[in-house]
A and B are shown apart, each in its own frame.
Chain A
Amino acid sequence: MRDLLDMAAGHADAAELYIANSETIPATFEMNKLKHVETRRMQGVALRVIKSGRIGFSSSTDTSKSAAQELISMTADSADVGEPAKFDLPGPLLDGESAAPLIYDDGIAQLDADALVGMGQEIVDIITEYDPSIKCGVQLERKVEDIAIANSNRGGGNYRKTTLTVMADALLVEGNDIFEVLDMDGSCCSDFDHRSVAHEVLERVKLGRKIAEVHTGRMPVLFTHRGIMPLLMALQSALNGKTALEGASPLAGRIGRRVLDPRVCVYDDPTRDWALGSCPMDGEGVQSRRTPLIEAGIVKGFYYDLQTAGRAGTSSTGNGFRQAGAGDYFEGQPTPALTNVMVAPGCERLDDMIASMDDGVIVDQVMGAGQGNILTGDFSVNVHLGFKVEKGKIVGRVKDTMVAGNAMEALSNIAAISDCAKWAFGEYSSPAFLFRSLGVAAKGR
Chain B
Amino acid sequence: MSVRALWIISHAKGENVSIRFSRRFAAVEHRAKCLAGPSYVAVPEDNTVLQLLLTELGLSDSDKPYVAVRDDCYNRQRSPALELRMDSPEKGILWPVLAISQGPLILACLSLVDAPPEPRPPLSSLLSVSQGLTLLAGLQTFLLSAGVKTDNEGLASRLAMLPSVLLQICPLGTPLDVPLLGAPATPAALAPAGNQKQPAWKMGLHRGRAVVNVALVETVRSMQYGNRSRQDLWDVFGTVTCKCEVEGVLPNVTVTLTLPPNGSPLQDILVHPCVTSLDSSILTSCSVDNYDGSAFSGPYKFPFSPPLEPFRLCSYTSQVPVPPILGLYQLKEEENHLRVSVTLKLHESVKNSFDYCEAHLPFFNRDQMGLVDMKVSSGQLDVSKEKNLLVWGLGQKFPKSREVTMEGKITFSGPTPGPTDPLCIGLTAYVKLYFKVPDMTLSGCCVDQHSVQVYSSAKPRITTSRELVSKEYFLWNSTGTAPVSSGQMML
**Is B a genuine binding partner of A?**
no
A contacts, CB < 8 Å to B? none
B contacts, CB < 8 Å to A? none
